[in-house]
């Protein structure tokens, strides 16, 4: 799969994550038959502003936001997730509670 179409596939998968749920970069990579969770991060970083893809619903495998703590992106992602009802405890999300069931292989 060429890079552009792989990115589009990631975007389609991320767009399926319902409000109030999250998936990890690895979850999305696995669903796309891709071995690289980093590729998902790179793809989400390339999203044009106003794309409508709910990028904020993708977090790392430890249940944390991957951007630098207290950065503008980190704060925005946490705010957007909290608006959807996702709770943070010590900067972590309980994956057992909030992980998208489609992502639980």
Distance CA 105, CA 81 (A): 23
Residue 42 CA to residue 97 CA, distance in Å, equals 26
Which carries the bigger pLDDT value, residue 13 or residue 71? 13
Q: What is the pLDDT of residue 71?
A: 85
Over residues 54-78, mean pLDDT: 92
Instruction: Report, as an integer, the average pLDDT of 72-91.
Output: 95
pLDDT of residue 70: 76
Confidence at residue 2, expressed as pLDDT on a 0 to 100 scale: 54
What pLDDT, in 10s, does the model give residues 8-51? 999 999 999 999 999 999 999 999 999 999 999 999 999 988 99
pTM: 0.90
Check if the beta carbon of residue 103 is closer than 8 Å to that of residue 14.
Answer: no
Asked: is 3-101 a CATH 3.40.50.720 domain? The reply is no
Between residues 68 and 39, the one the model is more confident about: 39
What average pLDDT score do residues 78-98 get? 97
Q: What are the CA-CA distances from residue 7 to residues 28, 50, 75, 80, 101 (Å)?
A: 11, 16, 25, 22, 22
- Domain edges within the chain: 3-101
Looking at every residue in the chain, the average pLDDT score rounds to 91
Q: Which residues pair with 23 in a beta bridge?
A: 58
């Amino acid at each position: 799969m060429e890079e552009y179409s792989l990115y589009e596939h990631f975007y389609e998968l991320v767009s399926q994550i319902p409000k109030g749920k999250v998936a990890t970069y690895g979850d999305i990579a696995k669903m796309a038959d891709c071995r690289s969770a980093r590729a998902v991060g790179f793809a989400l970083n390339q999203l044009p502003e106003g794309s409508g893809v709910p990028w904020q619903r993708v977090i790392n495998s430890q249940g944390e936001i991957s951007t630098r703590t207290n950065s503008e992106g980190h704060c925005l992602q946490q705010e957007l997730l909290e608006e959807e009802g996702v709770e943070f405890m010590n900067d972590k999300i309980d994956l057992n509670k909030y992980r998208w069931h489609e992502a639980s292989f």
